């Protein structure tokens, strides 16, 4: 996934801020207890000298052992001074926004991988609708808006199933979700809850309508780079409302869904269309990918429209 310069600079600023604050803390403590600075300098000197000695030493393990012993003694003295002044050992550590990548955007020593925080930052930037609302969560899912007991019980069951899906993610037996039913039954809200829960767990989620997906495809065809394979979960809402452009809509929807399924990447879809309507609109080839019981949890919502209440 392409990382714009402004995002690179944003991460550099965040990292530098954390490092600078750490150094400021260190300088303040050194003023309070000058011996700590002496210990730090002596420690650095020992490690530097060890590197020089190892080049010529016949018994390298002896050099490492002797240095480690002296460093441990200095560390013990430093810890004692910190304790006397009521300072914890991790006080100097930089407080990065993301401790996983230390605000670099990437993890791993030998093989660099894009951190989840950077993936989500890029997805949010590239598509405003992929920002996850704090309000749309399982915790705020109010079953009392469903006035009929049968519909309320159905939604309670679906909510529990979706929470179990999030709990097992990404090792679900069925990677994909298909929510079907008329407008106003809670399909979008339910998928937003899934998006929020998975984002909180550190997974990257891209949530967009099928209309915006096709619009993004058209932009990509004009040279604007976009990678639908990157997010851990791709949510396609309102399937069936997108423009049906010859040689574009069906073909690219198929490509996105098929490639993600082949790569075992999760996709969740919400649609107002019935199975027979899906087959008629998208044809057998795409229908077989959307409506695939082997890898898709297919859930039909029924009942009264509660859209206005849920908003």
181: in domain: yes
Same domain, 210 and 297: yes
Mean pLDDT along residues 274-285: 93
Q: Are 271 and 278 in contact (CB under 8 A)?
A: yes
Q: CATH no. for residue 149?
A: 3.40.50.300
For a pLDDT cut of 70, what percent of the chain falls above it? 93
Name the band, by pLDDT with cuts 50, 70 and 90, for residue 142.
confident
**12: pLDDT strictly greater than 90:** yes
pLDDT of residue 135: 79
Residue 128 resides in a domain: no
Question: Please, is 107 exposed, middle or buried when counting C-beta atoms within 10 Å of its C-beta (0-12, 13-18, 19+)?
Answer: middle
Greater confidence (11 vs 135) lies with 11
pLDDT at 127: 52
Confidence class of residue 310 from pLDDT cuts 50, 70 and 90?
Answer: very low
- Residues 285 and 137 both lie in one domain: yes
Residue 188 lies in a domain: yes
Average confidence (pLDDT) over 18-34: 92
Nearest residue to 217 via CA among 199, 205, 234: 234
As a whole number, mean pLDDT of residues 95-113 equals 89
Is the confidence at residue 299, as pLDDT, over 90?
yes
CA distance 46 to 218: 60
Decide if 24 is inside a domain.
Answer: yes
Q: Round to whole Å and give the CA distance between 160 and 166.
A: 10
> Would you say residue 123 lies in a domain?
no
Give yes or no: residues 77 and 191 share one domain.
no
Q: Is residue 288 assigned to a domain?
A: yes
Q: What is the DSSP track for 104-148?
A: SSEE-SSS-EE-HHHHHHHHHHH-GGGSPPSSSSGGG--GGG--S
Q: How many structural domains comprise the chain?
A: 2
- Does 130 score more than 70 pLDDT? no
Contact in structure between 162 and 270 (CB atoms under 8 Å): no
Structural domain includes residue 114 = no
Is 204 found in the same domain as 91? no
Query: Do 101 and 140 have their domain in common?
Result: no
pLDDT (average), residues 52-69? 90
The pLDDT, as a whole number, for residue 1 is: 56
Looking at the fold, whether 62 and 204 belong to one and the same domain comes out as: no
- Together in a domain, 143 and 193: yes
User: Which residue matches tokens 């679906």?
Assistant: 158
Minimum mean pLDDT among 11-25, 71-85, 212-226: which range?
A: 212-226
Same domain, 144 and 269: yes
Q: Are residues 284 and 208 in the same domain?
A: yes
254 and 158, same structural domain? yes
**Quick one: 161 and 88 in the same domain?**
no
Q: Which residue range forms the structural domain that includes residue 225?
A: 133-310
Residues 48 and 194 in one domain: no
Does the residue 241 lie in any domain? yes
């Amino acid at each position: 996934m392409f990382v714009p310069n402004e995002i690179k600079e944003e991460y550099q600023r965040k990292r530098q801020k954390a490092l600078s604050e750490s150094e400021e803390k260190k300088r303040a403590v050194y003023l309070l207890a000058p011996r700590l600075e002496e210990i730090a300098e002596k420690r650095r000197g020992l490690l530097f000298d060890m590197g020089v000695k190892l080049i010529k030493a016949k018994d390298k393990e002896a050099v490492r052992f002797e240095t480690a012993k002296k460093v441990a003694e200095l560390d013990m003295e430093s810890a004692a001074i910190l304790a006397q002044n009521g300072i914890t050992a991790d006080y100097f550590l930089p407080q990065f926004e993301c401790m996983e990548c230390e605000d670099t955007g990437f993890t791993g020593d030998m093989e660099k991988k894009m951190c989840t925080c950077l993936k989500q930052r890029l997805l949010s930037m590239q598509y405003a609708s992929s920002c996850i609302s704090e309000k749309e969560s399982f915790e705020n899912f109010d079953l009392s808006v469903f006035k009929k007991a049968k519909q309320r019980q159905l939604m309670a069951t679906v909510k529990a199933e979706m929470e179990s899906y999030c709990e097992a993610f990404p090792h679900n037996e069925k990677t994909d979700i298909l929510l079907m039913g008329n407008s106003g039954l809670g399909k979008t809200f339910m998928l937003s809850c899934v998006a929020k829960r998975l984002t909180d767990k550190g997974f990257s989620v891209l949530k967009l309508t099928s209309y915006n997906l096709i619009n993004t495809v058209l932009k990509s065809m004009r040279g604007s780079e976009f990678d639908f394979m990157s997010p851990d979960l791709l949510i396609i809402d309102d399937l069936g409302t997108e423009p049906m452009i010859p040689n574009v809509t069906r073909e690219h929807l198929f490509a996105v869904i098929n490639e993600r399924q082949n790569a075992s990447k999760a996709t969740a879809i919400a649609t107002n269309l019935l199975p027979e309507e899906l087959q008629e609109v998208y044809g057998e080839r795409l229908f077989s990918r959307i409506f695939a019981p082997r890898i898709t949890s297919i859930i039909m919502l029924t009942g009264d429209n509660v859209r206005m209440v849920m908003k």
